[in-house]
């Protein structure tokens, strides 16, 4: 499968995202076009505007589809990962619950059987590689664990984000880490863990509090679950030595059992 040529879709129907999402129906069994679009909007999918049209033009100029194809092939082979469809769309500059960097120039969302990347212009191709490493690590871990999405817990989500960004560290370098990796000190993470996360670790993904704690907002520190996940995974690997492939199936509970401080 690999890269789906969504550039052709966009050239024809940029101003009609419902038409674009109609083409996604075979990949979202049982969902309606409007449900698909609303779901993707949360993670950075574009709304038609002159700004997002400019992002699409930048993607064409940067040969984004060709670049992603090369990078996907690299990591699919390196990790013996699954062959999945990858969809590229322009990034919505405003809104979205998660962006990799404060400048909001890239975002993505992954499923066990597909991946979406939302892009604008990037000066450094390594930034695109970091996004692909993060999102494709998700795909590989979700595929390996092979559970229903509703069975995942907050702990699972925290660790999957930490593992994906640790893969960015190892494959792209510290300068390409998402800003949320270092927004809190170790002391702050421990405080927030005890105050907000410890008693909610087995909250299921479909419960409202799951996303509140993962993404933050209101009284919850911003991107708390992400930051805690990276902190835990980084500390785990200070004393353990595992290849990236092995991180696809290590149980999430193992990461906190290793550190009595988080038990």
For the chain, domain boundaries: 2-145, 149-262
Answer whether 109's CB lies under 8 Å from 82's CB: no
- State pLDDT tens for residues 188-219: 999 999 999 999 999 999 999 999 999 998 89
Confidence of residue 104 (pLDDT cuts 50, 70, 90): low
Q: Tell me, what's the pLDDT at 96?
A: 47
Among the residue ranges 3-12, 33-42, 98-107, the one predicted with the least confidence is 98-107
- State pLDDT tens for residues 216-263: 988 999 999 999 999 999 999 888 877 788 889 999 999 988 655 555
Confidence of residue 105 (pLDDT cuts 50, 70, 90): confident
Average pLDDT, the chain: 91
101, pLDDT greater than 50: no
Q: Within 13 Å, how many C-alpha atoms sit on residue 187's CB side?
A: 0
Answer whether 90's CB lies under 8 Å from 119's CB: yes
SS3 24: coil
131, pLDDT greater than 90: yes
- State pLDDT tens for residues 150-199: 899 999 999 999 999 999 999 999 999 999 999 999 999 999 999 999 99
103, pLDDT greater than 50: no
Q: Tell me, what's the pLDDT at 100?
A: 43
Q: Give CA–CA dist 225/57, Å, rounded.
A: 34
Task: Tell me the backbone φ, ψ of residue 88, rounded to 5 degrees.
Answer: -110, 135
User: What pairs with residue 3 in β-bridges?
Assistant: 86
Q: Give CA–CA dist 114/86, Å, rounded.
A: 6
Q: Tell me, what's the pLDDT at 11?
A: 98
Q: Tell me, what's the pLDDT at 152?
A: 95
Q: Tell me, what's the pLDDT at 24?
A: 98
Q: Tell me, what's the pLDDT at 139?
A: 97
- State pLDDT tens for residues 234-243: 999 888 877 7
């Amino acid at each position: 499968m690999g890269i789906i040529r969504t550039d052709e879709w966009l050239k024809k129907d940029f101003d009609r995202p419902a038409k674009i999402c109609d083409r996604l129906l075979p990949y979202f069994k049982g969902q309606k076009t409007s449900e698909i679009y609303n779901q993707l909007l949360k993670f950075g999918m574009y709304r038609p505007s002159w700004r997002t049209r400019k992002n699409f033009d930048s993607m064409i100029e940067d040969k984004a589809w060709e670049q992603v194809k090369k990078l996907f092939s690299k990591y699919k082979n390196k990790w013996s990962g699954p062959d999945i469809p990858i969809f590229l769309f322009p990034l919505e500059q405003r809104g979205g619950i998660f962006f990799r960097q404060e400048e909001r120039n890239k975002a993505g969302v992954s499923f066990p059987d597909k991946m979406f990347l939302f892009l604008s212009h990037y000066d450094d191709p390594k930034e695109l590689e970091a996004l692909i490493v993060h999102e494709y690590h998700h795909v590989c871990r979700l595929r390996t664990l092979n559970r229903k999405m509703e069975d995942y817990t907050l702990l699972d989500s925290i660790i999957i984000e930490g593992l994906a960004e640790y893969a960015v560290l190892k494959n792209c370098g510290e300068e390409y880490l998402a800003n949320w990796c270092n927004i809190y000190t170790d002391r702050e993470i421990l405080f927030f863990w005890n105050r907000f996360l410890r008693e909610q670790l087995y909250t299921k993904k479909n419960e409202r509090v799951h996303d509140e704690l993962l993404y933050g907002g209101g009284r919850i520190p911003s991107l708390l679950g992400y930051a805690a996940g990276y902190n835990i995974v980084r500390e785990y690997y200070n004393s353990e030595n595992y290849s990236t492939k092995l991180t696809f199936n290590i149980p999430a509970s193992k990461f906190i059992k290793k550190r009595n401080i988080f038990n």
